[in-house]
Amino acid sequence: MHIEPLLKLGNLPIQDFLSQYWQQKHLYSPQSLSDYLPDLDIDDLAGLALEQEVESRLIRSEENRWELDHGPFTEEQLTHLPNSNWTLLIQAADIWIPEISQFLDLFRFLPNWRLDDIMISYAADGGGVGPHFDFYDVFLIQAKGCRTWHLGPECNDQTPRVQDSPLNQIAPFEPEHTFETKPGDVLYIPAGKAHWGIANGDDCMTLSVGFRAPSDREILSNFADFIADDLPSSNRYRDSSPKVADNPGKINDSVIETLRHKIQDLIDSPTALASWFGREMTEGKYSEIQPEEFFELPNIEEQELNEFLVQNPLEVFSASRLAYRECEDATTLFIDGEEYKTTALVAETLCKKRYFEPGELQILIESEQPNDSKELLLSLVNRGILLVAQNELNE
């Protein structure tokens, strides 16, 4: 089934949330998602924490000291935990748990490229990761139990940190707001806002929906690398107006001006920027995770595609990311760091949602360029990017 993006957060229309709160200030919205909570327990998470492919962390605290261990863990490690002051974190749970993948669809009122993943935190009484801040926006959804959240000041690179802390913890920390979240409650925290969540009692489970926000450093460095990959070595600096040097050690202003114009000419390409950005923002953090590791992929021929589309509900592989960009002369579809020239209809349809009813994608092979559309769809099906739908979230 297809889970529609949220239209409201509590009684607040999403557009009002975006204009008044998003990346500006926090918002506590009690019982906003109580009808959508997935049914998970510690056994589900513990099983994932044993797997090599899953990014998991275990954080234990005692008297304001935190100890961090990275998974995979053993059953013995997880069954001999103390009664309090620990939390188990499972990153990218939307990849591994179908119910969580569908839960993520609620937040597709923001562009696909913005969504990062859902982390699940399961904590015993007193468990948490200490006072810290993130460089990205986050929705914290209480799924089970209760958690007390303390919100502090705005932070940045100059904010004092706990020395040698692997958790980006800050000190000192002075709470400015406090909330106790119960199942179904949502707390939105913009990037840079200090926060500290502490589990109240056992069986405390929190979902953290994180968002991609490349830093200026990453944008400049990664785009420069993308441009440089296609530059021939024969293109070199050339003197614009050579003159006899009055001092051979002097770098003249004309040299700097020549370099400035050269850099501007190299990077001033909207086409190249769009290509890099689409590839970069759809490249998965866990690109090594491939559909064939989990599913038996079909090997259908072109003449079988129509029947396959008619008979099967399909969904996008949970680790795959799709986005597109329209230009006057072409539409580019980005999938997992690769780009494809296609029609607007194909790109819009495949990116709008992640679940498709039987026959819903038929229109794409009956479009203006059916051969191109059929070739792309056939490739996506046989590679497992479009899968026969596995599980569905109960209403």
* Ordered mean pLDDT values, 10 residues apiece, the chain (395 residues): 87 98 98 94 93 95 88 95 96 93 94 95 96 95 98 93 85 95 98 97 96 94 95 89 88 91 93 96 88 88 92 94 89 95 92 93 72 86 92 43
Cα–Cα distance between 49 and 199 in angstroms, integer? 20
Residues 309, 357 contacting (CB under 8 angstroms): no
Structure tokens at 200: 């109240």
Task: Report pLDDT for 20.
Answer: 98
Residues 343, 368 contacting (CB under 8 angstroms): yes
Task: Report pLDDT for 395.
Answer: 38
Task: Report pLDDT for 62.
Answer: 85
Instruction: Spell 73-105 as b/e; 16+ CB within 10 A means b.
Output: beeeebeebeebbbbbbbbbbbbbbbbbbbbbb
Task: Report pLDDT for 367.
Answer: 58
Task: Report pLDDT for 94.
Answer: 94
Angle between helices 216-228 and 270-282 (to 10 degrees): 110
Cα–Cα distance between 22 and 63 in angstroms, integer? 35
Cα–Cα distance between 194 and 189 in angstroms, integer? 9
Task: Report pLDDT for 34.
Answer: 95
**Residue 299, φ and ψ in degrees, nearest 5:** -130, 70
Task: Report pLDDT for 392.
Answer: 44
Cα–Cα distance between 312 and 310 in angstroms, integer? 6
C-alpha atoms less than 13 angstroms from C-alpha of 355 in its C-beta half-sphere: 18
Task: Report pLDDT for 393.
Answer: 40
Cα–Cα distance between 107 and 28 in angstroms, integer? 16
